[in-house]
Amino acid sequence: MVVSEMEGKCPSTHTLFQATNAFCAASFTISLHKADNTTVTIKLKPGLQANCRIRMKYVIVSELKIKPGDNVTFTFTCNTPEKYFITEIQKNIDCVSGPCPFGDVHLYPPGLPRLNRTYIWDVKASTKAGLELKFSTSWLRQIEPGETCPDSVSYNINSSIDNATVNIGTFCRNGSVSRVKLLGGVVMSLHLPWHLPLATSGFNIASRASIKRLCIIESILKRESSITLMSPNYPLGFPEDELMTWQFVIPPNLRASVFFHNYSLSNCERKEERVEYYIPGSPSNPEVFKLSDSQPANIAGTFNMSLQGCDQDAQNPGILRLLFQVVVQHPQVDENVTHLVDLSKEKNMTVTIHVEGWPSRTPLMSEPICLICKDPRTCDRALTLTSGAVYRISFLCKDLSQLRITAEKGIGCMDIRWCQKKIYSLSVPKAITRLPIRLHKFNWKLLATDMINVEITSPSLKLQQHIPEQRCNTSYSYSIVSATPETELNVGVFCPGGSIEKIQMRNNITISLKTFGKGFINESIPQDLKMSFVPHIKDECIFTVSPNPKAKVYLQTPNSPYGLPPYVSISWFITVPSKQTARLRFSKDRMGIACETGRAFVNIKEETPGAEEIVRREDELLPQPRNMLHSFWVNVSNCRPVDKTQLALQFWVTLADKQLDLGIILAVVAGAGVLAVIGLTVCCVKKKKKKTQNPMVGVYNDNVNTQMPGRKGSFRKGRQNNESHVYAVIDDAVVYGHLLKESNGSVSPEVDVYRPFDGPIGSMPPSPPPFSFRKDIKCSSNPEEEPLPLMDIDQDTYTFAHQKSGQSEDNGDANKKDKGDTGMPLLENKEQDGLVG
């Protein structure tokens, strides 16, 4: 440490500072009697330079050692020697060759400089006798290595047996340790800060009979409290094959519980490391426990606890150590109330009841403790129950709201033939919901082989994806994670009350139900989450969504906000009711990534024959908002991006009732008008023909072929396999033109044919699509109008009427103006064509 010239050096006797500099102006005289067997050493603190010295009559030194029988006077060369020097006072007491000075231990010698002081009492004693250190009413509290005391006053106790020294522990004032009994000698140290004047040591030494063990530590607990204690030499190893005891003095109206927080075991060759309890009134004293066992709880009154070591392996001894806690509290009001937990019908399930924050958070010593007991003496802060058994548990806890339940259930499928048709209910068992404890989390571990995938459904409640634009406000949610040995995909967080009916996923799945409030039990009554195993799917995840007509549905790629892992493909199937349309819109214009290898795609396609597929790459703009008339697919496939940012997309869907297009309405009205004009024209022509021509008779002959010349096969019913649904808008003059035939082939009439439908056809003709989807058709009378199909015909057989031989039919003036004469000669061989005059 570097100090100023004025601070680091004592001024001369002629300066004004002489009267104010206490250390430099005053000298210290230490006189030690030879019989006291005490040595005083004043030395520099470790690691400091000698900026301050000790001045005696003829010499200046940096360390001063005063032995028994010496009388030394000295001063310091600086005015703040407490920054540089410490004092050690060691007194040796021989209880082997002579009598021991038992009784109160005084701080000797008096008049020492105000420096940090360490008093050491080294007491030699025979192993056939015991020594007892009894502390004053403040008592002691054991602390862990490296921990400091609030007032900087600490005691360190070491046991000395032959040439071996064992560190019993370091203690602060104001605790519960009232006495320490030791076998053989003891080295007791008291550390005092320079600014604290202390007149007494706070303990006395007494002689006791041999205790036949390393030590006995007595702790008196008069009221509700919690203490922490450690085995000797902690965190190093407990001595081999040694025995020690803790005595806990507790009023009979209080209850004590023991908890082991940190321990390790050595490698034993003989015997076994164990803990023994002597509990007054117990029928099986001593009660023996392993260090790995749950230790006794709810102990009434005083008891003893002993730690027994073993004979260790010389080559690999290991370490036996123990840090534990004793909690003392009043009996709880409900300590005799038991709760039945029936897990006898469950499989592969564990239920853990624990204090909130377990296991990462350790309750403070001042906090009231909550214990869970599976029998009156087996209690702990955490209790795990396994499936296949029935338990009766009780709680030692004033406030049950501090407790939580965490459960886990495993469901597996190794052969799809045995589990494909099974439907598993992912609901919290009633054995858990009936407990007066809040459920914190329930995990379902769904395990399957590579070619078996998982499907979860929520038929009635459906699921909502929790995202910033669409937050869950229920008292519980489901977190879904898909994992492989290489990667982990966070599918998302979901809650009931949305539009997602089904999620299909690959790999092993973990579904975690997590609660957020006290209303879970009431809200969860209609839990309907189901799970089943399905054959292999191509995508990493497939969502089936039925949007709510009254709400906007937001959907987002999994693993948000970190984005999809490379080469992962996700699909959504959005169902659209027949009387509604869906509006699809992406939340941004581009994917926002550049690919290092591969390509990223967004694909959109309606679930209808011949639908156009919309495809966008990562370097293209995403599709503009669009209306979808049918159920449709949205697929997002990732590449390997050039940077750490992955692909993350969000889109939303809304439903609306279909609106009839005004253009369609006008086209239907116009078509009806054209049909009326055609009908009126045909009627007039027929009336004119009746006046000028003889009536003709057509006879149908079922033995001849009535098909158009050049067509093979007979005319068959069934609209899927013939063209009976194709109608011709023709002149009246050529109504039988399909029967005409020439020797070198067929002659087809000049007609316009409307064929707007090319998909599968039922037994009835399909309804005409909107005009905007039809092909262009020429009208015989007006090229700007589109003819409508004729009326549906209930049968596929027809009766024809023909002219007599040699007669010709007038086509009418209207047709002649537009198309010219379309008349054709009749066939000469009437019998061949099945016509009889």
- Written as one string, the DSSP assignment of 561-587 is TT-BPTT-EEEEEE---TTEEEEEEES
Beta-strand pair 255-266/318-329: antiparallel
Q: CA 403 to CA 396: how far, in whole Å?
A: 11
Strands (E), 598-674: 601-606, 613-617, 626-628, 632-637, 640-641, 650-657
Q: CA 91 to CA 39: how far, in whole Å?
A: 7
Prediction pTM value: 0.60
CATH classification at residue 169: 2.60.120.290
The last residue of one of the domains, among 295, 329, 363, is 329
Return the number of other C-beta atoms located less than 10 Å from residue 197's C-beta.
Answer: 8
Residues of the chain with pLDDT under 70: 1-26, 333-336, 360-368, 519, 521-526, 660-674, 676-677, 681-837
Q: Establish if 44 belongs to a structural domain.
A: no
Q: CA 243 to CA 258: how far, in whole Å?
A: 19
Report the pLDDT value the prediction gives residue 629, as an integer from 0 to 100: 94
Q: Establish if 637 belongs to a structural domain.
A: yes
Give the H/E segment covering residue 817. helix 813-818
Q: Establish if 101 belongs to a structural domain.
A: yes
Determine contact, residues 479/514, Cβ cutoff 8 Å. Answer: yes
Q: How far is CA 208 from CA 123, 130, 221, 381, 656, in A?
A: 14, 5, 24, 39, 94
Task: Name the nearest CA neighbour of 231 among 299, 165, 306.
Answer: 306
Q: How far is CA 343 from CA 349, 360, 447, in A?
A: 8, 27, 22
Determine contact, residues 114/193, Cβ cutoff 8 Å. Answer: no
Q: CA 252 to CA 498: how far, in whole Å?
A: 58
Q: CA 326 to CA 76: how far, in whole Å?
A: 49
Give the H/E segment covering residue 686. helix 662-692
Q: CA 702 to CA 724: how far, in whole Å?
A: 18
Report the pLDDT value the prediction gives residue 273, as an integer from 0 to 100: 94
Report the pLDDT value the prediction gives residue 397, as an integer from 0 to 100: 82
Q: Establish if 440 belongs to a structural domain.
A: no
The last residue of one of the domains, among 329, 346, 363, is 329
Q: Establish if 601 belongs to a structural domain.
A: yes
DSSP state of 344: T
Largest CA distance in the chain: 165
Beta-strand pair 200-209/129-135: antiparallel
Q: Establish if 757 belongs to a structural domain.
A: no
Q: Which residue has the tokens 């006495």?
A: 179
| CB-based burial label for 802 (10 Å; 0-12, 13-18, 19+) | buried
The last residue of one of the domains, among 625, 658, 691, is 658
Q: Which residue has the tokens 């007054």?
A: 280
Residue 783, C-beta contacts closer than 8 angstroms, at least 6 positions apart: none
Return the number of other C-beta atoms located less than 10 Å from residue 483's C-beta.
Answer: 14
List, in sequence order, every residue forming a beta bridge with 752; answer none if it has no partner: 729
Give the H/E segment covering residue 523. helix 520-523
Q: CA 270 to CA 272: how far, in whole Å?
A: 7
The total number of structural domains that make up the chain: 2
Beta-strand pair 116-124/85-94: parallel
Alpha-carbon Rg for the chain, nearest whole angstrom, is: 50
User: Range of 634's domain?
Assistant: 538-658
Residue 305, C-beta contacts closer than 8 angstroms, at least 6 positions apart: 245, 246, 248, 258, 275, 276, 277
Q: Establish if 484 belongs to a structural domain.
A: no
Determine contact, residues 561/650, Cβ cutoff 8 Å. Answer: no
C-alpha torsion angle, residues 104, 105, 110, 115 (rounded to 10): -140
Q: Establish if 782 belongs to a structural domain.
A: no
C-alpha torsion angle, residues 617, 621, 627, 633 (rounded to 10): 20
Q: Mean pLDDT across the chain, nearest whole number?
A: 78
DSSP state of 647: B
DSSP assignment of 767-790, as one string? Answer: PPPPGGGSPP---SS-TTS-PPPP
Q: CA 480 to CA 463: how far, in whole Å?
A: 12
DSSP state of 296: B
Per-residue 3-state assignment (H helix, E strand, C coil) for 423-452: CEECCCCHHHHCCCCEEEEEEEEEEECCCE
